[in-house]
A and B are shown apart, each in its own frame.
Chain A
Amino acid sequence: MQGGSSGIGYGLKYQARCISDVKADTDYTSFLTGTLSLKEENEVHLLRLSSGGSELICEGLFSHPNEIWDLASCPFDQRIFSTVFSTGESFGAAIWQIPELYGQLNSPQLERIASLDAHVGKVNCVLWWPSGRCDKLISMDEQNIFLWSLDSSKKSAEVLSKDSAGMLHSLSGGAWNPHDVNAVAATGESSVQFWDLRTMKKVNSIERAHVRGVDYNPKREHILVTAEDESGIHVWDLRKAKVPVQELPGHTHWTWAVKCNPEYDGLILSAGTDSAVNLWYASASSTDEKTSERPVESTRQRVNLLLNSYTDYEDSVYGLAWSSREPWVFASLSYDGRVVIESVKPFLPRI
């Protein structure tokens, strides 16, 4: 429908779920994405947006031994990234390094720096220290959360501490608080839980079922955004976590992922299984105004909140990433392996 043709597309060979912004690459706007194919040779693609911003170039193509369920680029070294993979029967997580001079090699091999092999269950995600050079990592499986120390030169990683969320919670993903590096949020079956990494204990939780995605607002402390299967997107203030401060309708089907823009406060991107990516604007000021004349306010918000809906996808969209270098650019990845880069510049004046 609207804005369909504006995106820059790139096709992966197989189905795929995850895409990550290469934060450490300061020269180019790059993204890493990995395929999810049970039976075929899986690949990791390093994509670069051409300087004109009109083309998406494949900078590197690396084979990956297993299907990739999660992929995260290291925030301080553009050649390092983590994956969570599955052999079909078991799950694993590893840190990889893209070889130097990969452009000149014929079939460059990824170098496995470390294996995060303390997990037994289904691994969900690997989180990097939110900013700056730090060797700390977090990995989660359905029941446990691990804090790792990575030594990239020695090519090893060791567990610093761990905690178990308990059988019932069955964690599914998480986010590291960029404002407080000791706090990590994890989504579970029936709640969003928060850990303090110093004590490695659960400190808080939001009772909310079926949360798929979670993201901290990098511009405003205490603000967390969650994406839920049926009930859309919620914005929370962690100081009063009983009730969400704002509610966005989300998607026609499940809302799968949600990402806050790293630069523009209140700009939220969500991806859903209704083959759409929605751009929202959840302004902080409007949440403050709410005390007075709520009905009028809320109707007004409902009208204005959705800035745009990108619907040029053939399948469910699972992967979503803002570029940190050009914060008005985001990459989305639908299940059929199509990467679409879009710019939200036309909507920025409306904020």
Chain B
Amino acid sequence: MATEAAPMDEKAKRMRDLLSSFYAPDPSISTSGSSISTSFDNINSTSFDADQYMDLMIKKSNLEVLLQRHVQMAAEIKNLDTDLQMLVYENYNKFISATDTIKRMKSNIFGMEGNMDQLLQKIMSVQSRSDGVNTSLFEKREHIEKLHRTRNLLRKVQFIYDLPARLHKCIKSEAYGDAVRFYTGAMPILKVYGDTSFQDCRRDSEEAIKIIIKNLQTKLFSDSESIQARAEAAVLLKQLDVPVDSLKAKLLEKLEQSLDGLQINPEEARKLAKQNDSSNDAESDDQRPAKIHEDAVRGFSEAMRAYREIFPDSEERLFKLARALTAMHFESMELYIRKRVSTEDFLGIFRIIWEDVVLMDEVLPEAALSDLSAEAAQVTLKQYVARMFSHLQQDISDTLLKFGINQKEAVEGEVLKVVLEASKKAVLQGTTDIFQDFHQLLDENTGIFIKMKELIIGWIQKGFQDFFRSLEAQFLVLSGKTSSSNDTEGGLIEGKSSDKIHAGLILVLAQLSVFIEQKVIPRVTEEIATSFSGGNSQAFENGPAFIPGELCRVFHAASEKLLQHYIDTRTQKVSVLLRKRFKTPNWVKHKEPREVHMFVDMFLHELEEVGKEVKQVLPQGTFRKHKRTDSNGSNTTTSSRSNTLHNDKMTRSNSQRARSQLFETHLAKLFKQKVEIFTKVEFTQESVVTTTVKLCLKSLQEYVRLQTFNRSGFQQIQLDIQFLKAPLKETVEDEAAIDFLLDEVIVAASERCLDVIPLEPPILDKLIQAKLAKSKEHNNNNTVSS
């Protein structure tokens, strides 16, 4: 087949080419598709030039090839001849058959016209017949149509008459939707003919509708119904043209009233918080207030959701309600934290509120409740942090003031020590607690906290800064050394209670300031650095909120100031004593000294008190007197030795040589190394006592300088000072300065004396011994009596 098909194909192709070259004069079109190349040796091309082809052939080819070519060409020509003959024959056949067909058509078409005429006549007659039938049936059809209309009308009338019954039936089956549809359908008719023909009917159905409305309203109001049902009821009511707005108002009012029930009142808040925390382990107890609250809020939010669906135009109102609820929550929270609240409770309540907010936010996302509550929460939280600090401060000052330090106890007992320890503990514990609380705050994962973490850290840092600042201010207030230029309140504190403030308290405050500076602030700094660091954006504007360096400086200054204040109050007391001592007698007419004046006792007593207070509060200095231990035993020898030394000096100076003595003292001063009287006070027992003694002696000198003495007056001073020497050296570390100051007093007295004749050493010694014996006896008596 395939072998036969190929020559057939070739043949057909050739024929087609030929035909096409014949029909299409443009050779480019006919040959473009074929594979034959258009070169001049293409024999099929139109531009084929036989002579040229022959020339080329002869030139190019040898004889053998030419011969081959000749044979091939002759064969091809023969082939072409037979092909052309075939073509002519085939086409001829076709012409013959076409002529035959035309001849047959010509004979068939004859007689067609007559048939067509016949057909036309028949159709005409059919038409006339059908018209006849139509006219004969017309009247009947008309009648039938009329009847049909009447029937429809009757059906409608029937419907209206049946309406009341139908409505009742609907009421019974609670198919209010149908009822409303029926009623609204009948409405136009009832409106037009209600007053005439269908009066009864209308009345009845209106009554029924009234019932329906009532039922629908109750349905709308009843909380037990599903929201769907209630929403439908609302829609139906709206269709019935019932004024829905008033209904809505009523409903919302009810919702508003239910707000009160949702309020967390501060008393319950604690319980709530507790319960909420323990809710995990006690699932069974449904009566817990937290649960109740949660249900209530859930109900509230459901109701809101419902109303929102029912009354789409009431959103504003609902927003308001939701906001009110949130605001109320935070308000009561604020009230709540006015009292002392543990962080756990605080967080518990916060969580509840947040849950509520989240619930409501789901219902009303457009109300921006979360933004609102975030703001409120910020405020509340900030207040809470501030309050925590103020509580801490309150605690500390309470601790300080709890022990009513009064004169006796402070000196006798260990009250100051106790107070100091207690307040140290209060500060340390307080800061630890507060840090714990803050940790809790930071660990809290309630949505809003996460957002506010940075802020909280900022507040905490700032809180600490403010706390320490106000603590320092409070210390100053407590010490009675308020910076004077305050409001009247500060003035009152200063004016009224400065006498009542015990010096010991000031000392405690001073030491506490040191403690805070050295221990607490570094700890707080460390804690903040580890747990509460983190740049809040404000930090970049104003620098870091918590500046430990500054606080340290503040407290350092405060401690120094307080210590100075302590010394001041103490010396002030002595000063009063001395003032009295020097104002009272007429020194110019003084009598001969008989004994050491009693002010010395009082002075020493004051110093003793200072010593005791200081011992309780301040640390011992590193520098200790070496002589102290051995001089304890040999009290009298020391004093007598110094007596003689001093008396040598004194005997040399008498009234005639007073002037030269002045020069002498000036000269002595020049050569003596200037004794630093006013050195810086350190936080050691010795330093404070020494400073106090120095200041008192300086005051003594100044008082002496203001008086004029006669001989006896001078001798009295000499005696008193001489007596003071030994006990003062006992208590004081800087003996040189004390010696110098005591001498200064004697010098001052001698300068202000009209007639300088010192007491003879034996008399001096005797009087001093007498005094010592007396005081010893006094002490013994005291110990016996006690």
Show the binding face of A for B, using Cβ within 8 Å.
14-15, 38-40, 86, 88-89, 170, 207, 210, 229-231, 234, 242-247, 252-254, 273-274, 287, 290, 294-296, 298-299, 302, 314, 316, 335-336
User: Contact at B588–A88, with CB atoms within 8 Å?
Assistant: yes
User: Contact at A243–B491, with CB atoms within 8 Å?
Assistant: yes
Residue of A nearest to B680 (CB): A252
Q: Which residues of A contact B702 (CB under 8 A)?
A: 253-254, 273, 316
Give per-residue flags for B480-510: 1 if the beta carbon is below 8 A from chain A beta carbons, else 0.
0001111010110011000000000000000
User: Contact at B754–A245, with CB atoms within 8 Å?
Assistant: no
User: Contact at B469–A295, with CB atoms within 8 Å?
Assistant: yes
Across chains A and B, which 3 residue pairs bring their CB atoms closest together, nearest first? A243-B491, A252-B678, A244-B484
19 extra interface residue pairs, beta carbon distance < 8 Å, beyond A243-B488, A316-B702, A316-B705: A15-B662, A38-B754, A86-B708, A88-B588, A89-B708, A229-B572, A234-B484, A242-B495, A243-B484, A243-B494, A252-B678, A253-B695, A273-B702, A274-B678, A295-B470, A295-B554, A298-B483, A314-B669, A335-B705
Q: Which residues of B contact A246 (CB under 8 A)?
A: 484-485
Residues from 636 to 659 in B contacting A, C-beta threshold 8 Å: 658-659
Whether A230 contacts B572 in the complex (CB less than 8 A), given A38-B752, A294-B483, A295-B472, comes out as yes
- Cα–Cα distance between A15 and B658 once the two chains are bound (Å): 13
Q: Which residues of A contact B575 (CB under 8 A)?
A: 210, 229-230
- Cα–Cα distance between A89 and B486 once the two chains are bound (Å): 46
User: Contact at B583–A170, with CB atoms within 8 Å?
Assistant: yes
User: Contact at A40–B659, with CB atoms within 8 Å?
Assistant: yes
Say whether B666 faces chain A, with CB atoms less than 8 Å apart.
Answer: yes
B678 in complex: contacting residue of A243, A244, A245, A253, CB < 8 Å: A253
- Cα–Cα distance between A40 and B661 once the two chains are bound (Å): 13
A253 in complex: contacting residue of B473, B488, B698, B754, CB < 8 Å: B698
Whether A253 contacts B495 in the complex (CB less than 8 A), given A243-B488, A274-B678, A299-B557, comes out as no
- Cα–Cα distance between A247 and B490 once the two chains are bound (Å): 13
User: Contact at A244–B754, with CB atoms within 8 Å?
Assistant: no
- Cα–Cα distance between A246 and B482 once the two chains are bound (Å): 11
Q: Of A38, A40, A243, A295, which is in contact with the most chain B CB atoms at under 10 Å from its CB?
A: A243
Residues from 666 to 711 in B contacting A, C-beta threshold 8 Å: 666, 669, 677-678, 695, 698-699, 702, 705, 708
Q: Which residues of B contact A274 (CB under 8 A)?
A: 677-678, 698
Q: Which residues of A contact B483 (CB under 8 A)?
A: 247, 294, 298
B488 in complex: contacting residue of A242, A294, A298, CB < 8 Å: A242
Residue of B nearest to A286 (CB): B485
- Cα–Cα distance between A242 and B482 once the two chains are bound (Å): 14
User: Contact at A38–B557, with CB atoms within 8 Å?
Assistant: no
Residues from 349 to 396 in B contacting A, C-beta threshold 8 Å: none
* Distance between A5 CB and nearest chain B CB, rounded to angstroms: 16
Residue of A nearest to B655 (CB): A39
User: Contact at B484–A207, with CB atoms within 8 Å?
Assistant: no
User: Contact at B754–A295, with CB atoms within 8 Å?
Assistant: no
Can you list 7 pairs linking A and B with CB atoms under 8 Å apart? A15-B751, A170-B583, A231-B568, A242-B491, A252-B695, A254-B699, A336-B666
* Distance between B50 CB and nearest chain A CB, rounded to angstroms: 124
Q: Which residues of A contact B705 (CB under 8 A)?
A: 316, 335
User: Contact at B752–A207, with CB atoms within 8 Å?
Assistant: no
* Distance between B159 CB and nearest chain A CB, rounded to angstroms: 86
- Cα–Cα distance between A335 and B554 once the two chains are bound (Å): 37
- Cα–Cα distance between A88 and B709 once the two chains are bound (Å): 8
Q: Which residues of A contact B470 (CB under 8 A)?
A: 295
User: Contact at B491–A39, with CB atoms within 8 Å?
Assistant: no
- Cα–Cα distance between A90 and B483 once the two chains are bound (Å): 42
User: Contact at A243–B754, with CB atoms within 8 Å?
Assistant: no
User: Contact at A230–B588, with CB atoms within 8 Å?
Assistant: no
- Cα–Cα distance between A40 and B702 once the two chains are bound (Å): 21
Q: Which residues of A contact B658 (CB under 8 A)?
A: 39
Residue of B nearest to A253 (CB): B698
Say whether B276 faces chain A, with CB atoms less than 8 Å apart.
Answer: no
Q: Which residues of A contact B301 (CB under 8 A)?
A: none
- Cα–Cα distance between A244 and B470 once the two chains are bound (Å): 21
- Cα–Cα distance between A208 and B329 once the two chains are bound (Å): 53
- Cα–Cα distance between A335 and B702 once the two chains are bound (Å): 11
- Cα–Cα distance between A336 and B575 once the two chains are bound (Å): 24
- Cα–Cα distance between A295 and B751 once the two chains are bound (Å): 47
- Cα–Cα distance between A299 and B469 once the two chains are bound (Å): 11
User: Contact at B490–A302, with CB atoms within 8 Å?
Assistant: no
User: Contact at A273–B698, with CB atoms within 8 Å?
Assistant: yes
Residue of A nearest to B753 (CB): A38
- Cα–Cα distance between A15 and B662 once the two chains are bound (Å): 9
Say whether B712 faces chain A, with CB atoms less than 8 Å apart.
Answer: no
Say whether B513 faces chain A, with CB atoms less than 8 Å apart.
Answer: no
* Distance between B734 CB and nearest chain A CB, rounded to angstroms: 15
Say whether B423 faces chain A, with CB atoms less than 8 Å apart.
Answer: no
